Structure 1
């Protein structure tokens, strides 16, 4: 799990000595792991930790598994080059996403029931709370997959249900983005030198409203598409602008302190997500503009103009995702070649942010009718599927070897 320093009260002072002390307190070389200031159980005590005790250590970061699995399902549905049976594989990933969501929700619910203060603590904690949006993002992923795989095989009732869920999701994510950032501003005191792209996560659910709109709009009537289009563009703009305001903090941290510790570097890929999903959203929504209805009946040229603008703006934004992807990949490879990477839930950032980047690449290729770009997107899709299996195996091994889901790990740092 990505981790940030939260236990220093010297934030805001710029003296070199204070900065050095903060770096030591944050255990920078250890990668800010949540177990950095915990005394872990000794080897002779390992067998005495029962399963129900381990379940008390589920954190919100586990929902990155759901986001990644559902992202692969969307990727298989949207990849430019389809083959017979790919749709079935995509449905398997979708069903697996739903099953995992139920299991993880049951696990984290048990944690909160077994330890009553844990829910409030997790939502107020300056580091663990950053991953609460992953729960909302998992719901968005399931809804988008339902639109992709469920609507074609069901009656009109599902389209109505998805529309209701969309507006509920939009309302909840707006409230979540406001309240969570207020809570962070009000008491988190997160020092800039321990900043990671995880700081962007609180705005992600609101931003994914645009992506969700692009997935649901094709199944809606023109009179329903127009308000969803307006809401999707509005929320996507909010997410992209807030992410753009946070990016300078991240780049400033990299300039001042260099690359994150090796254990944190997979989380650098989170910075790829906003640009990738924004490109996917605006291209997708432009394809479902309600022709000859409302505003577009009054201004018939608007549809064509917006379709053109969506493509070229997406191409412009896509380069931002590519740039973040490039140096994040170099940073991870530099750590991997020295065998300094160890598993944390941050590894799922190898998958879910890059799903948006890959879908955006495929959408741009389809709009330009470029086989070259489409094949690049298909190759990226294959790499992401392979990476999903690699990270899943690493997570299973980490659980088995008590690296995660264990006392002194995950959320235990307070």
Structure 2
């Protein structure tokens, strides 16, 4: 056994460096946080599909990233299942750990992104069976994520996974994020559904999106209060501040998408033909309102990360640089499409280029972290015991 030091946080420098740790020992530290990788990769493929400015091969690139996303998702499920099978009791431990448990919803978020990508890349090349399958999966997803959100917050409220308000980060929004993304799924799949099925999906999507966004508003108020009282989080945690960009961004893109999928002349909209135009206009202007809200949190997170860059090192939380901002970029593109503004569309395209670059950098840094044993290693991951003892 030997000890190795690197440019990491002080609370991790004392961890022993075990040269002969087995593969099984490394898998034991495979956490729910790994699903931030699939969230981000699926978000990039979805973002490429939404591009207003295309070129030959862009669709192919998007499909390749989508396939890579599926491979990563299967890998994540295989590895975390292996961890739980090889280490009895680790599933319960992961769901009650005050830090790791907050990332359990990332698995559900990855499934939401999967459904949106299937709509984008699968439905145009498949028969009506896939449209039906997506509809069934949507309703299952809504039911499951609503139960998960209620159960997860109940665990937080009752102290099963105790957390302190002084350690509050935007990750507290994650338990309700999956049910909120039901609205984003609805905005994606509704346009391909039959009229008689489309309206219930849109109503459910608006309801879930509203639930998630309102809960996120409460959490963001707590987060701002925490910043005012206790200051910025530690530099290594500051990338997580970008999570606050997600709720307003995904709400904006969901509202525009659902308003554009309204079944014209059917049901309520057959009896009130003017309602469709009114709702589309409201969705657009409320989305612009939300876009500036997202921009504010983006700026706060960016300045905080730049200020602490000397102490910033790569961890899975750095995937927050990507996933929330893919929603921000898609919302920008959707607003540009609605206003028919080339300037706004180009802003969305530039954001896409930057996000793809950050995604590639993160991929390289994650491979490097695994090789350097600063991930999947005792005391290095979100399951470490000192986080449980500190109850942060």
Q: TM-score, normalised by structure 2?
A: 0.94
User: Is the aligned partner of 1:394 residue 2:365?
Assistant: yes
Q: 1:362 aligns with which of 308, 321, 333?
A: 333
User: Matched residues in 2 for 1:298 and 1:124: separation?
Assistant: 50
Equivalence for 2:4: none
Report the 3-state secondary structure (helix = DSSP H, G, I; strand = E; otherwise coil) of the residue aligned with 2:311.
Answer: coil
Match of 2:315 among 315, 336, 344: 344
Corresponding residue SS for 1:405: coil
1:39 Cα offset (Å): 5.4
Asked if 1:152 corresponds to 2:124, the answer is yes
Runs of 4+ in structure 1 over 4 Å off: none
Asked if 1:201 is matched to 2:183, the reply is no
In structure 2, the residue matched to 1:52 is 24
Give 1:238 deviation, angstroms.
Answer: 0.1
Q: Gaps (5+ residues) in structure 2? A: 1-7
The aligned residue for residue 273 of structure 2 is 300
CA distance in 2: counterparts of 1:38 and 1:126, whole angstroms: 22
Q: 2:305 aligns with which of 332, 351, 355?
A: 332
Match of 1:172 in 2: 144
What does residue 374 of structure 2 align with? 403
Matched, 1:270 2:243: yes
Task: Determine the C-alpha separation between the residues in 1 that align with 2:326 and 2:174.
Answer: 16
Alignment map for 1:163-312 (pairs within 5 Å): 163-187=135-159, 188-312=161-285
Q: Deviations over 1:207-245 (max 9, x none)?
A: 000000011111101111000000000000000000001
> Given that residues 40 and 323 in structure 2 are in contact (C-alpha distance below 8 angstroms), is that contact kept between their aligned partners in structure 1?
yes
Q: Whole-Å Cα distance in 2 between the matches of residues 190 and 69 of structure 1? A: 29
Q: Cα RMSD (Å) of the superposition?
A: 1.3
* Whole-angstrom CA distance in 2 between matches of 1:169 and 1:67: 16
Cα shift at 1:126: 1.9
Asked whether 1:323 is paired with 2:291, we answer no
Listed one character per residue, the Cα deviations across residues 1-51 of structure 1 (whole Å, up to 9, x for unaligned) are xxxxxxxxxxxxxxxxxxxxxxxxxxxxx87x9xx4895224xx32x1121
Residues 101-138 of structure 1 show CA distances to partners (whole Å, capped at 9, x for unaligned) of 00111000010001110101111222111000000000
Aligned to 2:78: 106
Kept after mapping to 2: 8 A contact 1:277/1:360? yes
